[in-house]
Structure 1
């Protein structure tokens, strides 16, 4: 699909080193947006930036850790120096570390909360002034938060991950009451089973096997499927906000 409304926009995509983030960056750049790529893996970012530039796009690799406030501040400075004001933020970075709550893996809980929720908040705080200023100038301004169907679908042993994603979904709804009156759109994207690296960090063999079984039973979504939904969402007319999208594989209930 063609998205001419994306031309000349300036976007920040977190978690851009792989999966949904990388696919979204590719699609935004292909349609004329300038894209700042934020993630921790410098080599992946540099490779993606080079790929997008070779295809005629504009991309800036910015190594950043959203769990580190100083790193986020440095990333904002780098983006502003290269591209100026941002009018589109895709808050995509996340981590999924399921295990039974009784295992008491506080380090994993902390990592998920600090990445999926507090990290998202850091990015929102950092770029909200840009979004509100762009909207005040009469331009389209978008904040897209990538959540998960785990925010409302129950999966055993995914309690903490699900809680962080439910928080992102609720945060998005609440932010619409703050930013909507200022003409900044806030959209929440909830993918179902999607083939990304997210499950690669699961160290519990039972849960890893269960997830693999789901992929064997259900033709999963691709990162490109989610990127297409995000691009469609932010290319609507300025007065139209697709507030929440739940995207499932056809065979997933």
Structure 2
């Protein structure tokens, strides 16, 4: 589904810029949930660093955000590469200032029945959905702690999935990676909450995004397409709206875990 950044910004210009002065990082920002979240955060006044591999898409999104009155910095990076993520953190700090909001969104879903042994797909999901999340946290948590110590709001938002504990045949490895994100988030909150950093784990159900387009197993792709046709999905903007609300609450308010489902999805 195409994302219209200009209309997003226009729709929220009367909100009083609830995120004015904040610096946000959004991974997986080149499409889908990441692009929608980045656009909404910019609309609400944050300066946003756009992290993803596809530089051309990031540049186009940054231009849309700028045209609508926001500020965005495109940073091409593979979040599974520690050196690239560290360099990205340095770039963001130099260009935008201290980061106080991180949305760990980059991920991939490559379902297949386990007996097919699609080990390359398994490794790709582990590298991006788990290792990528760890790399981003490692790079940006020092800035979040510094923000909190200075008395500013500080947010780490990890995008997990309903698959973390809802069983779907063929999704075993993906589910395992998202269960890891959910547990990681819970433990991070125990480590960071007492130091002023809010940690939120969001578990979306079916979302209309490019995630389905990456599915390489033909049987899994057909089943997923059939399910998507039968069940009206969330739009990426729905998640962006909820996330923007969460991070604009007073610093004393933290929603640790939130599941967002399409009304029709069981």
Q: Using the alignment, how far apart are the partners of 1:199 and 1:111 within structure 2?
A: 15
2:253 is aligned to 240
Q: Using the alignment, how far apart are the partners of 2:205 and 2:16 within structure 1?
A: 24
2:143 is aligned to 130
1:153 is aligned to 166
Residues 21 and 92, structure 1, Cα contact 8 Å, conserved in 2:
yes
1:211 is aligned to 224
1:165 is aligned to 178
2:56 is aligned to 43
3-state SS of 1:170 partner? helix
**Of 57, 68, 81, the match for 1:55:** 68
Q: Using the alignment, how far apart are the partners of 2:183 and 2:115 within structure 1?
A: 26
Q: Using the alignment, how far apart are the partners of 1:249 and 1:213 within structure 2?
A: 16
Q: Using the alignment, how far apart are the partners of 2:226 and 2:238 within structure 1?
A: 21
Q: Using the alignment, how far apart are the partners of 2:64 and 2:228 within structure 1?
A: 29
2:87 is aligned to 74
* Alignment partner of 1:89 is 2:102: yes
Q: Using the alignment, how far apart are the partners of 2:138 and 2:167 within structure 1?
A: 30
Residues 17 and 43, structure 2, Cα contact 8 Å, conserved in 1:
no
Residues 110 and 217, structure 2, Cα contact 8 Å, conserved in 1:
no
Over residues 18-77 of structure 1, what are the superposed CA-to-partner deviations in whole Å (9 max), with x where a residue is unaligned? 000000000000111000000000000000000000111000000000111111111111
Aligned residues: 253
Q: Using the alignment, how far apart are the partners of 1:50 and 1:79 within structure 2?
A: 17
Alpha-carbon spacing, 1:149–1:101, altered in 2? closer, same or farther (3 Å):
same
Moved over 6 A (4+): none
Q: Over aligned residue pairs, what C-alpha RMSD do you find? A: 1.0
Per the normalisation by structure 1, the TM-score is 0.98
Q: Using the alignment, how far apart are the partners of 2:67 and 2:17 within structure 1?
A: 20
